[in-house]
Copies of this chain bind each other. A is one copy, B any other.
Amino acid sequence: MEKLIKFISRYAQLSPAAIAGLKCFAEEEKSKKNVLILNAGQVCHKIWFLTSGMVRKYQLQDGKERTCWIHFENEIFTSLDSYFSQTPSKDIIEACEESEIISISKEASKELARFPEFLSFTNALMGEQFASIDRVSKEFSFMDAKQRYNYLQKVSPKLFQKAKLGHIASIMGITQETLSRIRSKE
């Protein structure tokens, strides 16, 4: 919980009351390796904070897994589409290894919105995420495979230390074979 509070305070100063509220509404959970945190078809009611471990978000497309992103500790994750539109999720979220997560439900968020600091936190976070999604998705679309490789190594070095090749390739929008060949030519 301390890690989450520290995370939030990078965006807004939390009053003791807000911290108490957070402790009351946020739930700490553990998830074992390969266990699903969210399955396709479910409506996503929560936003999660990853205290420790590694979590993968992917979709099934024609029977194939398409990895969207892999999160590491001190990151926030959810199924954006499902959470905000409250429709069944296409995203599947799974723990890649034993992970500790904190969940905040949509209702809890509404309660916490009574604290203005919390509201400015969520606003700042959403703005940051917006900017980041917009920027990264455009930059990515201009790059070829090699450039994406270099870019990803910069923005998420942990990915290359911990994730499987196939998953990294999928994030890059290429096949595992192509990524293997890129790597061998370095």
Contact = CB atoms under 8 A, between A and B. Distances in A.
A127 interface: yes
A81 interface: yes
Contact of A81 (B84, B90, B131): B131
Copies per complex of this chain: 2
A184 interface: no
Interface residues of A, number: 25
Given A133-B133, A134-B133, A84 B128 contact: yes
B126 A80 contact: no
Interface in A65-85: 66, 68, 80-85
A173 B137 CA distance: 12
Contacts of A61: 142
Contacts of A173: 141
A81 B135 contact: yes
Given A80-B130, A82-B131, 4 more contacts: A59-B138, A80-B133, A85-B128, A133-B134
Interface of A: 59, 61, 66, 68, 80-85, 90, 126-131, 133-135, 137-138, 141-142, 173
